[in-house]
Structure 1
Amino acid sequence: MLELFRQKMPLSCLLYGLLERCFSAERLDRIFLENAKEQYTREILFSTVCDLMLSVVLKVHPSINAAYQKHPEPLGVTVSALYEKLKGVELPVSQALLRDTSEDLSDILDALGFIPDPWLPGYPVRVLDGNCLAASEKRLAVHREVGGGALPGKSLVVFDPERRLMRDVFPCEDGHAQERRLLGAVARAIRAGELWIADRNFCTEGFLNQLRHHGAYALIRLHRNLPLTEETLFSPVEESQGRRILEKPVTVAGRGYRLVRVELEKPTRDGDLFIDMITDLPADIPATTIADLYRRRWTLETAFQHVERHFNSEIETLAYPKAALFGFALALVAYNISSVMISALDCAHQKPVSKDISGYYIAHEIAATFLALIQLGEGLDWRFVAACAPPEFAAWLRETARNVNLRALRKHSRGPKQPKSKPPYDPKQPHVSTYQLLTGKK
């Protein structure tokens, strides 16, 4: 039966297999036991709570209460007890869930034979940025006398753009907290040889020192409050894509850096006429390459848009910060799963296909078959996907991906939209007859 599903519903099988591996009960309960300090398991397992939340994140159910009502078996706890469990999910548990699954998915990509497109050969790239969760519904007693939006929290996210994986998340319950407060925790995730790209909000002397201390490299937009010593005037480098690029050496806390300036043709929305970046990459890496690397930082913003558009990453009904941040962490794992699924399609065919297939058609195909797969395959045992080694699971993914009909998923490109002039509105004739327009009648 499973082989028939792999032939007829390959995309849904890819997704289901990856979900079963990343969210296996054994993995989830192990992560909970290793990272929870205050919570404990009494009446409901963490894996069960995670399954219910995941169904909301994947938009299978509109709310936790709906997922609770639709659960095929009685959970043995009230919905109030379920919400109590959710509001107490500790931040290290949410963080460990993303870390653990991203490491496994990275190993699977290696076993698939996935070859990353290096941004800068020899330097694994990490992009750091913050994400503030949208205001939740005012469901708590503390919200009753508050007029402003209730922010349930924020987080810093570390993105691996070459493998298209969210690598780490650093959640914070205080929605008004300064993101720089979390940089101390981020420093513990730095590895030697990495290149960290970040916006100017993270341009602090302390973070630069941490990157140096761990043997990593920085490429960060300059913050005007960073204390630096300018040794010489700017030297023009060259023009790239209509932009004039300049460079000069600077010193921060006695350590040498390169200051690269990109002069813009048009000012930014903040009125900036140029962008300054500070880096300690070797001098043999051209300033034009550095400018292009920073420009590609927006890849993480695009990934955030994907998470927001395709998953329920900011559940409005979850007002407690820990519950809301737990849902966001699950959405990041779901993004990684969808990314690996696309990479499996690339690795299963003779040439990369991800640039030629439409995300809309993929989503439509999965929406049309995924529920049927769950209902018809209820008796199937998927536990093997969680137990097998990465090479074995990668082979299963590759064989399943070969059954995907790429022709049905191909993009249909269209030319750029032509500007249209809007006809003047006549209040004396608010409506027109399409029939009369087609027949030329007035």
Structure 2
Amino acid sequence: MILGAVLERFISESPLNVMSRASIEHVLSASALDALFARVAERVYTRELLFSTVVELMGAVVCGKAHHVQSAYQQMADRIPASLKSVYEKLQNIEAAVSAELVRHVADRCHDAFFAIRRHGTTTLDPAGEWTPEVRTDTGWVSERPVWVCVGGEPVPRVRCVRVRLDHPTGDGDAEIEILADVPEDEAVAAVVAVLYRGRWPSKARSTS
């Protein structure tokens, strides 16, 4: 994943960053970046060094994972099939149109991206409404309510908290899970959010079947 090592460092420090991970993965997918480059670039050829690899390398520098390009190159050397000289040449010859399109690409995808992640014990919530009536699904009973996610004691983003009371506990023995999502209700009701997320919680019943 693009910027995977950088994200892991921040994810471990704040539950708010965990909620953003899916959106960032969507925005910076390698295939989308390479397709962007192929579509816009006129003079620079991909050859062995992919545009997505260059973005990941520079991301490590910008986010402080590496002090400079050479340091980032050394960290990623096993995944960069090109010399350091080739990397510098690639950076120097990236056209302004490509950079501009990259900015537009990130802005457009951030606008369209949503997340749905499981709530963990370290995530503090401030209820902003009552639980809705429960709805039956094929895995259990589902309800939801709006909540504020608290960071440093302060409510920051308002999201949906979808609660699932499972017919069969998860592999860890949890009989109930909560999913935090920012998907608009008119695009996915609570039961749909639960179904979309269900593949991430292996139940004891499924693991023994």
- Using the size of structure 1 for normalisation, the TM-score is 0.25
Give the number of the structure with larger relative contact order, counting CA–CA contacts within 8 Å between residues 6 or more apart: 1
**Whose radius of gyration is greater, 1 or 2?**
1
